[in-house]
Structures are given as structure tokens and as C-alpha cells.
């Protein structure tokens, strides 16, 4: 199960239900995929297919939606 937190432009931001416990979010689009840690700070964990420019843009999007993503994480996985 991979619940979608939100979509924005061509990007889908989502979780994998049975993955590591450290808070993070996955992003995918036709260009590639990436994973961002949410704690202790927003940071790129891994990526494939995205340019440096796209990764900077995605980093800003994750920062902008960090509270929404964290709330969705807690709702889905429990605190």
C-alpha cells in the first residue's frame, strides 16, 4: 500500500506502508523518483532520474508541505 499524501504538478508525494520508521516521503513523476527525509531536517535520501534543478524544486516543495506530510505520516503510521 502506498498512500498518496498529495499531488502537485506532475509529482506524486506518497509513503510506502511497510518501510523504515524514520519519517520520510517519496516523490515520483514521469521523470524519476526521489526520497526525502523529514527529520531532523528535510534532506534528500536518494534519487533517480531527476536533474539537480528538479531536486532543488522538489526539496522546496517538501519543505513547503512538511507539516502536511508529517501530519499524514502520524495519521497513517501513528505517532
Output DSSP code: residue 65: T
Each of the 79 residues of the chain gets a pLDDT tens digit; together they read: 689 999 999 999 999 877 888 999 999 999 999 999 999 999 999 999 999 999 999 999 999 999 999 999 999 888 6
Can you give the pLDDT at residue 77? 87
Can you give the pLDDT at residue 61? 98
Can you give the pLDDT at residue 27? 98
The total number of structural domains in the chain stands at 1
DSSP states of 1-60 as a string?
---EEEEETTEEEE--SSS-SS-EEEEEETTEEEEEE-SSS-EEEEEES--HHHHHHHHH
Domain boundaries, position 59: 4-77
Closest CA relative to residue 27, chosen from 71, 74, 53, 59? 59
Amino acid at each position: 500500500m502506498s498512500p498518496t499524501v498529495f499531488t502537485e504538478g506532475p509529482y506524486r508525494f506518497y509513503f510506502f506502508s511497510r518501510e523504515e520508521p524514520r519519517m520520510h516521503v517519496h516523490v515520483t513523476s514521469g521523470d524519476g523518483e526521489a526520497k526525502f527525509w523529514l527529520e531532523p531536517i528535510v534532506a534528500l535520501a536518494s534519487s533517480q532520474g531527476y536533474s539537480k534543478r528538479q531536486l532543488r524544486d522538489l526539496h522546496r516543495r517538501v519543505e513547503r508541505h512538511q507539516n502536511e506530510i508529517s501530519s499524514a505520516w502520524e495519521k497513517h503510521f501513528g505517532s
